[in-house]
Amino acid sequence: MIRSILRMLLAAFTVVACVATVSIPARARSPHPKRTATARTLRGGGQWLGNARPHSAVQRWDIDVTRADDDSFEGRVILFGSPLAQIGRLRGAIKGRRVTGSVTDTSGNHVATFVGTITSNGLQGTYQDRAGEVGRWSWDGQLPR
């Protein structure tokens, strides 16, 4: 009987020693500080030219958008000379050097989609509007970072 009590005490001591040796680790701190939301305003103008009308004049546009930390952006665009919309909503995203997005009119109807690239000369790309016209665009405003 004494042997069984000693075995139980030895087993209990072993368990307590193991638990004391292996403790729950403290919560690790992230090596990256928490990012705070800092929206950046991008304003500027640009031009667009449809390929369907080779002799048409270059059209101008202006934007006033806000870029979020996740590299999405949205805001207002003014299209000078567009038969589809004069004022619209611009939404898109920047992934690396690639820019994608869409334009809707004030009623929420699709106006155009666009893709582009950030180059050493600025932003430039192509668009396709809801009428099927395809063309080129460029932006001469502040480059997104």
Question: What is the Cα–Cα distance from 48 to 18, expressed in whole angstroms?
Answer: 72
Name which residue leads in pLDDT, 89 or 145. Answer: 89
- Tens digit of pLDDT for each residue in 100-138? 999 999 999 999 999 999 888 778 999 999 988 898 998
* CB contact burial 53-91 (16+ within 10 A = b; e otherwise): eeeeeebebebebebeeeeebebebbbeebebbeebbbb
> Alpha carbon 83 to chain centroid distance?
29
Looking at the whole model, is its pTM more than 0.75? Answer: no
Q: Are 95 and 116 in contact (CB under 8 A)?
A: no
- Tens digit of pLDDT for each residue in 6-57? 465 555 555 555 545 554 555 555 555 554 456 677 777 788 777 766 556 7
Q: Write down all domains in the chain, each with its CATH number in brackets.
A: 40-139 (2.40.128.120)
The band of 63, judged by pLDDT with boundaries at 50, 70 and 90, is confident
